[in-house]
Amino acid sequence: MFSSRLSLLRPTVLLLNRSLTTLKYSTNSNVITDMTQRGLVANLTSPEISQHTETSTAIYCGVDPTAKSLHLGNLVTLMGLLHFQIRGHQTIALVGGATGSIGDPSGRSSERIPLSEDILRVNVAGIEEQIHRFFSNGNKYANRRGFSGTGVTPKVLNNYEWFSSMNALEFLGNVGRYARVNTMLAKESVKSRIETTQGISFTEFSYQLLQAYDFWYLHKYHGCRIQIGGSDQWGNITAGIDMINRKKDQGESEEIEKAYGITIPLLLTSSGDKFGKSAGNAVWLNESMTSIFDFYQFFMKTADADVGKYLSMFTLLNQQEIDDIIKSHQANPEKRIAQEKLAMETTELVHGREGVQKAKTASQVLFGGDLSTLTGREILDAFKDDSSRLAKFERSKIESCGLDVLATLANATQSKSEAQKKIKAGGMYINNVRVIDPRYKVTEADWIDNEVCVLRVGKSSYHLIQAV
Ligand SMILES: N[C@@H](Cc1ccc(O)cc1)C(=O)O
């Protein structure tokens, strides 16, 4: 009885033509049209979705708390939510306190190592706070780019709320009953794992049911009609749409509103690497894990081949503005005008206007600029959370040791002898001025506003010494 209906329930895949250049958009254009033009849409479960977004609707996106911060890979889906938010739709960011303890098999070739409850708790709190900050900074950024405020506050929910009190019998009766094992087995995330020697645990196999139930729950209790996620989430999103339809057919739910899904492309750089990694490490949105300066620099290093695409995806500049930037960039590519614009816009989006200021100050310090135009406070503010670059010691201690000892204390060199070698070779600087005596002691004149001095080793290894 179910199999004949299944084909009707299965959402249609619509591949969209992602032409970025031809259409112009304005701030109030349909969200799906705008997102498509910006390259933020991989697939839609139905083309009808555009009609439903003409009037206010609710949309959700989930993230599992696998770390205590989100990273640049998450920024693509957050941008999707932001596009809805700034046009007055209700956005729901779901933190997977429950799903995070199970582990999504999508896009993974082996089982996940479960996270302890303590770690999960810390991660959930970190991500919740960060999502609030993203929307707060994102809305301010949007206002400055011509989107008027909508007054709709985003919701941040945790699925632990509805799963923690559900027992095994309820799960099988209220969730499992509305899923078909053959459909579950056909999901890419399961199929690819079944073929490996390790196989897939029943736990990870069940993951899709949790995410499916989330969609049903948010549909029923929060009027949520759309789920958005990376393209690896297609199977989980369609599982949710099936769950909503089946529960409705079984009279379990009086809801009749249709549910939809949007997937966002998984981003690869022009050289084929996963977007959002710097030297193999994730670029985090939390400034104590990736300093604002490093965040800014990540975008400054974007390849020419990617920069236009990223301006569309990660900023709210309109197509005309982007075209103009690219035009001036192409006239003088070595000036990296487009990269600088991208770095400034994304830093403002994620870290606010103060963040842009910090990134600029840090660049001035770290690229050998004229330090005399900066105050000690500005420098310290720019590096406040950058524990890899900032070292604090008592002033008397700093002033009483030689530069070779100081460099080692500040972790600028591994040992005193390494420091001595570097100094003798002319590779050590205080406030960008070369020092050639290993016994040199920092003096009154070296302190910027009596607070900080900048120690540089070689061309680009910078350390800030703060007197406390
Ligand atoms: N499975 C998603 C996260 C998620 C969790 C729960 C949901 O309801 C939705 C999405 C991911 O791994 O990216």
CA terminus-to-terminus distance, the chain? 75
Please answer whether residues 36 and 16 qualify as being in contact, where contact means their C-beta atoms are separated by less than 8 angstroms.
yes
State the ipTM, two decimals.
0.99
pLDDT by 10s per residue, the chain, length 468 = 333 343 334 343 443 433 333 223 344 579 999 999 999 999 999 999 998 888 899 999 999 999 999 999 999 999 999 999 999 999 999 999 999 999 999 988 899 888 899 999 999 999 999 999 999 999 999 999 999 877 899 999 999 999 999 999 999 999 999 999 999 999 999 999 998 989 999 999 999 999 999 999 999 999 999 999 999 999 999 999 999 999 987 766 565 689 999 999 999 888 888 898 887 889 999 998 999 999 999 999 999 999 999 999 999 999 999 999 999 999 999 999 999 999 999 999 999 999 999 998 888 888 767 788 888 888 888 888 787 888 899 999 999 999 999 999 999 999 999 999 999 999 999 988 899 998 999 998 899 988 999 999 988 788 999 998
Nearest-atom number in ligand 1 for the CA of 240 is: 8
Between CA 211 and CA 98 the distance in angstroms is 10
Please answer whether residues 154 and 135 qualify as being in contact, where contact means their C-beta atoms are separated by less than 8 angstroms.
yes
392 DSSP β-pair partners? 466
Any residues with Cβ below 6 Å from ligand 1, and which?
Answer: 62-64, 94, 96, 99, 104, 159, 211, 214, 229, 233, 236
Q: How far is the CA of 369 from the centre of ligand 1 (A)?
A: 45
Nearest-atom number in ligand 1 for the CA of 63 is: 3
For residue 111, give the amino acid letter: E
Pocket mutation for ligand 1, best pick of 66, 76, 99 (most atoms within 8 Å of C-beta):
99
Q: How far is the CA of 216 from the centre of ligand 1 (A)?
A: 14
Between CA 220 and CA 214 the distance in angstroms is 10
Nearest-atom number in ligand 1 for the CA of 230 is: 13
- pLDDT for 277 equals 87
- pLDDT for 125 equals 97
Helices (H), 86-201: 117-144, 160-163, 168-170, 181-185, 188-194
Between CA 144 and CA 139 the distance in angstroms is 9
Between CA 418 and CA 411 the distance in angstroms is 11
Q: How far is the CA of 404 from the centre of ligand 1 (A)?
A: 51
Number of Cβ within 10 Å of residue 436's Cβ equals 11
CA-closest candidate to residue 457, choices 409, 407, 416: 407
Please answer whether residues 48 and 60 qualify as being in contact, where contact means their C-beta atoms are separated by less than 8 angstroms.
no
- pLDDT for 185 equals 96
Pocket mutation for ligand 1, best pick of 60, 64, 217 (most atoms within 8 Å of C-beta):
64
Q: How far is the CA of 64 from the centre of ligand 1 (A)?
A: 6
Between CA 335 and CA 321 the distance in angstroms is 18
**CA distance to 83, 146, 153, 363, 419, per residue, from 87 (Å):** 7, 12, 12, 35, 56
- pLDDT for 256 equals 63
Beta strand segments in 283-420, E: 390-393
Nearest-atom number in ligand 1 for the CA of 236 is: 1
- pLDDT for 254 equals 60
Strands 390-393 and 461-467: parallel
Between CA 429 and CA 311 the distance in angstroms is 37
CA-closest candidate to residue 94, choices 160, 26, 152: 160
Q: How far is the CA of 99 from the centre of ligand 1 (A)?
A: 7
For residue 195, give the amino acid letter: E
pLDDT (tens digit per residue) in 128-170 = 999 999 999 999 999 999 998 778 999 999 999 999 999 999 9
Protein residue with least CA distance to atom 4, ligand 1: 62
Please answer whether residues 235 and 192 qualify as being in contact, where contact means their C-beta atoms are separated by less than 8 angstroms.
no
Provide the whole-model pTM.
0.85
The owner of tokens 């697939």 is: 43
Please answer whether residues 90 and 189 qualify as being in contact, where contact means their C-beta atoms are separated by less than 8 angstroms.
no
Between CA 236 and CA 103 the distance in angstroms is 13
Q: How far is the CA of 417 from the centre of ligand 1 (A)?
A: 51
Pocket mutation for ligand 1, best pick of 102, 211, 222, 266 (most atoms within 8 Å of C-beta):
211
- Long-range contacts from 245-252, C-beta under 8 angstroms, 24+ separation: 245/9, 246/9, 246/178, 246/179, 247/178, 247/216, 249/5, 250/178, 252/174, 252/178
Between CA 403 and CA 410 the distance in angstroms is 10
Pocket mutation for ligand 1, best pick of 63, 156, 215 (most atoms within 8 Å of C-beta):
63
pLDDT (tens digit per residue) in 316-333 = 999 999 999 999 999 999
CA-closest candidate to residue 83, choices 131, 28, 2: 28
Q: How far is the CA of 354 from the centre of ligand 1 (A)?
A: 32
Q: How far is the CA of 214 from the centre of ligand 1 (A)?
A: 9
Q: How far is the CA of 194 from the centre of ligand 1 (A)?
A: 21
CA-closest candidate to residue 40, choices 88, 13, 77: 77
Protein residue with least CA distance to atom 1, ligand 1: 104
Q: How far is the CA of 310 from the centre of ligand 1 (A)?
A: 24
Question: What secondary structure letter does DSSP report for 165?
Answer: T
